[in-house]
Amino acid sequence: MKKAIVTVAQFILFLILFAVGSVMNPFNLHWAATATAGTTRFFIPDGLLLAFGVFLAILVMQALRKRLCDSPWTILSFVLAVSIGYAMKFGFVTKDLN
């Protein structure tokens, strides 16, 4: 039961970091994803980078505490959060060139 609660909490943490980092844009990075006539769609990786940094910090803490049995659940929560974040189009911005 405790692993399920921790996994859901980590999932929510990663998803919120992905969303907030995509909106706040702290690193001011832009990756051009697609371009059509008159519009360009950019991907802002800031939220993804923030979530990935916290993910690595959690994995390092688990390794230092020798709690590697929890690592697959952390990886699962990160992958689910990133997948759902992409599905919700976090980080994608459309700019009109006109």
Residue 98: inside a domain? no
Residue 17: inside a domain? yes
> For residue 17, what pLDDT is reported?
95
> For residue 67, what pLDDT is reported?
80
Q: List Cβ neighbours of 11 (8 Å cut-off, separation of 6 or more).
A: 77, 80, 81
d(CA 13, CA 85): 12
Residue 9: inside a domain? yes
Residue 13: inside a domain? yes
Containing domain of residue 73, as a range?
Answer: 2-35+42-93
Low-confidence stretches of the chain (pLDDT beneath 70): 32-33, 35, 96-98
**First vs last Cα of the chain: how many Å apart?**
54
To the nearest whole number, what is the mean pLDDT of the chain?
A: 87
> For residue 18, what pLDDT is reported?
94
Q: What is the pTM of this model?
A: 0.84
